[in-house]
Structure 1
Amino acid sequence: MRKKWIIGIVVTIIIVCGALWYYYSQYSGEMDVYNTHSTVFGDYHEENITVIVNKPHIEDIQACAEEIVERCRNNDFDSVLFSYDESIPNELHATAYLNERDLKRGKAIFSLSYEQETLNSEYNIVEHPEKFKLKISEEN
């Protein structure tokens, strides 16, 4: 009887440790860029990024989208450094995922566009944020 108790406790510990490891591996860390694609035509620069949020859920999608835009404007993601010395984007598009597993499944949380009403290469996302509007599309 005592042996069954010990085996049960060991199995429980292994399951709990496995669950904690899974949770930590999926949701630890900060928001970061997974992929980036720039398109430049003439003097117009469009930036498309894929972001991993690294959270179990998003309570405020608007705030999360604003944080993505702000981090792009400040160029302060850990894994990517945008080359704003060459050109600063005149338009930004992003798709956000909770974790890398959801990215591989194609299960996005939302997409955003940070763009001007009319295309104008004089204005960029860093120096003229007042000229841009944030549009969010929630994924289903």
Structure 2
Amino acid sequence: MKRKKHTLLCLLLAAAFVSACAQKRKEGEPDVISSMKMNQDETLTVVANRKQIEDKEDFAKLLVKKCKDNSFQSVRFSTDYGYATSLNLRVYLWEDEIEGQEPVMVVEYKPVEWGRDYDIVHDPEKFQMYVDGELMENP
């Protein structure tokens, strides 16, 4: 009888653990986990919150749009001193994959000419987008 109770308890604990892990990996909107600002240049760590990124260019455009719209769930960027003048986003699929892993993609959104007063919201035509070091034609 004790053995049955012990086995049942172990099965319940295992089910609870699996359920907790599944909840951690609930697919949804991409979100910022950390941000660092130097001058007006933003460096962000982003989780995609999905199993895979099918079209990296489209996903990069979505991330840049969320930065411009200031629409990430966990982070609101201060615009007291203006908007970002460049973006560097390191993207991971899940939050628990950040530690010790390489990002699944890197997005850079930077001005064609440095040293100007261009920002990502007011001067989008002055910016180029790179995904994993490759220039995208239509940012």
Matches within 5 A, 1:1-140: 18-19=17-18, 21-40=20-39, 45-137=40-132
What's the CA shift for 1:117? 1.6
1:16-56 deviations in Å (ceiling 9; x for gaps): 7754542331233421100000001xxxx211101011101
Gaps of 5+ in 2: 1-8, 134-139
The count of corresponding residues between Structure 1 and Structure 2 is 132
**Contact between 1:27 and 1:56, CA under 8 Å: does it hold in 2?**
no
Opposite residue 52 of structure 1, the aligned amino acid is: V
Q: Aligned-pair distance for 1:14?
A: 7.5
Aligned-residue RMSD, C-alpha: 2.6
TM-score normalised per structure 2: 0.79
Contact 1:115 1:132 in 2 (8 A): yes
CA distance in 2, matches of 1:51, 1:82: 14
Q: Structure 1 length normalisation: TM-score? A: 0.78
| Distance in 1 of aligned mates of 2:116 and 2:74 | 27
Shift in Å at residue 98 of structure 1? 0.3
List per-residue Cα deviations over 1:85-137 (Å, max 9, x = no partner).
22211111110000012111323110111011220432100111111110010
Helix, strand or coil at the partner of 2:132: strand
- Unpaired segments ≥5 residues, structure 1: 1-9
After TM superposition, what 4+ stretches of structure 1 lie above 3 angstroms from structure 2? 10-21
SS at match of 2:131: strand
Percent identity over the alignment is 26
More helix by share: 1
